[in-house]
Amino acid sequence: MTTGDDDRVFTGHWVFETNLRPLCEAVAHFTGYAFDDWDWQAIDGALPATDAERHDGWYAHPLSGRVPLTLLVADDPGSAVVFVRFAGEPGEAERGRIEAALHIFSTWAVS
């Protein structure tokens, strides 16, 4: 677990919990990372032990692609959302795509 206070965090928001995997896959695509079932199992398995309100309640998962990032994720118990943050140093284009994806996945339920 981590605090979610990585000093390289460049953006974050909440997303619908059902949209977490599609968000991860989209960000991985934008940054050249081959996100697979092993990644998802690690994130999905860690999520129940997280809590966005606890200082040490965030899970950090590396996305080590062409543009290396760290996904920080924490549950919001009792709701249908999870909080996500991204740490790293993406270029302007990747940053814009990630911020657009966060907006989409927090606005609409993707099926």
Q: How sure is the predictor about 4, in pLDDT bands with cuts at 50, 70 and 90? A: low
**Average pLDDT along the chain:** 94
User: For the chain, how many structural domains are there in total?
Assistant: 1
Whole-model pTM: value is: 0.93
- Whether residue 44 is contained in a domain is answered as yes
- Whether residue 2 is contained in a domain is answered as no
DSSP secondary structure string for all residues of 47-73: GGG--TTSTT-BEEEEE-SSS-EEEEE
Q: Is 89 exposed, middle or buried (CB count within 10 Å of its CB: 0-12, 13-18, 19+)?
A: exposed
Q: Mean pLDDT throughout 92-108? A: 97
- Domain carrying residue 20: 9-107
What pLDDT digit, counting tens, does each position of 59-87 carry?
999 999 999 999 999 999 999 999 999 99
What does the pLDDT read at residue 73?
97
